[in-house]
Amino acid sequence: MNCTQAHDRLPGLLYGHLLPAEKAGLEKHLAECPACRQEYAALRQVRHLLDRGPSPEVRLDLRQLYGQACDRQLRQGRRWRRVGIALCGAAVVLAVIALGLRMEVRMEPRQLVLRWGTPSAQREPTQSPQILQVQAQRAELSSGAAEEQFQLLSQLIHALADTAEARDSQRRQELLQLRADLRELQRRTAQWRYATERDMDALYTAHFISAKKGEKP
């Protein structure tokens, strides 16, 4: 053990903090080192001086203590009362301001709307919440990656619209064709009916009018 290590362990030896092995090692060092022995003696003197310090008597006044406890609780109660009054006053002031300014407070998705005053004539017409929401979302999407996503969405919507239009056109074509077929059918039906009536007239004439004249049909 060297003097630095011994120096650190001297208070432990003085107050009995050391393990037996440490104590034996330190005592062996002290037997050989006059400087450390002197330091140890000085620390023993310090301990002795500390023990000789005065030790006054303290006596509490319980009546005074109870009085102070009451005062402190009263002060605490008054403090809370003041806080309560202040909060109520603030709430009343806010309510008066809100009523006086005809303030409107409304919670909407992602925003708190606070409006006051009467609407002026030159004010722009209010937009629906959905449009405002879309605009807000559009503003949020101003960053590069978000803009790209928006472009993709836009293309998708256009593609869907084109598909719907193509289908619509096809349906119209089919309807026109059906109409044309129906007209053709009506024309043929009219022709067939005309031919049938002519044939019937010819037969009638041949059968009945010829018999009256005494001619054989």
Partner 1 sequence: MGCDDADLIHRWQHGDAAAFEALVRRWQQPIGRFLFRLVGREEEASDLCQEVFLRVFLAGPRYRPRAAFSTWLYRIALNVARDAARRARRNPVALFDREVQDNTSSAEVVCQRQELTNIVARAVAELSEPLRSVLVLHHYEQMNFEEIARLTATPASTLKSRFAAALHRLRQRLQHLQEESEEAL
- Residue numbers of the site for partner 1 (CB under 8 A)? 7-8, 10-12, 14-15, 17, 39, 42-43, 46-47, 49-50, 52-62, 64-66, 68-69, 72-73
Q: How far apart are CA 179 and CA 157, in angstroms?
A: 33
Q: How far apart are CA 180 and CA 72, in angstroms?
A: 103
Q: Would you say 103 and 114 are in contact if contact means Cβ atoms under 8 Å apart?
A: yes
Residues in Cβ contact with 39 at an 8 Å cutoff, skipping those fewer than 6 apart: 7, 10
Cβ proximity to partner 1, 27 vs 104, nearer residue: 27
Distances (CA, A) of 81 to 8, 50, 78: 58, 50, 5
3-state secondary structure of 11: helix
Cβ proximity to partner 1, 72 vs 187, nearer residue: 72
Cβ proximity to partner 1, 16 vs 144, nearer residue: 16
CB neighbours of residue 9 within 10 Å: 20
Cβ proximity to partner 1, 60 vs 99, nearer residue: 60
Cβ proximity to partner 1, 42 vs 178, nearer residue: 42
First to last CA, the chain: 160
